[in-house]
Copies of this chain bind each other. A is one copy, B any other.
Amino acid sequence: MAFSAAPYIRRANYYETDKMGIVHHSNYIRWFEEARLDYLKQSGLNYEEMENGGILMPVTDVQCKYHYSIRFDEEVVVWTTPTFFNGLRAVFSYKIYTANGENLAATGESSHCFIDEHTRLPLNLKKRCPDLYETVIPVFADEQELKKVKE
């Protein structure tokens, strides 16, 4: 069965607002990152340790749709879902809700590759770190997607 993480919860900071009186749209991209790293940590993958092991996971593509403006001090709940992983590339999707759950504030997606810290060249997590790969597989994907990955 798929791993089920708790959502990531935080408040909008004052310095994250802009003169429009709402949170600046670039910060949602940062919240995606906060939520993603929190999700990975919950799943047993310590990103800090992975980086210390010389593996980086840079963003290759990001997008965000804004549905509702978040204001200062408003609590948001970010749900992260891993939607693809094959050792070369990983994709996550995000939903940001207001705390009361009434408003879907934003939806988004980020794609990532894995690179060697020193060469900065892409690497295959399956070859470079089979153990890490095996740990991640059941976490990243629910059974259906896992099947696709293994095919």
Contacts and interface: CB of A to CB of B under 8 A. Distances in A.
A129 B91 CA distance: 42
A62 B29 CA distance: 10
Contact of A21 (B19, B22, B30, B33): B19
Contact of A63 (B21, B27, B51, B62): B62
Interface in A3-19: 13-15, 17-19
Instruction: Count copies of this chain in the complex.
Output: 4
Interface residues of A, number: 36
Contact of A59 (B17, B25, B60): B25
A61 B60 CA distance: 17
A143 interface: no
A59 B62 CA distance: 15
A64 interface: yes
A41 B27 CA distance: 23
A47 to B, nearest CB: 8
A72 interface: yes
Contact of A17 (B19, B27, B41, B120): B19
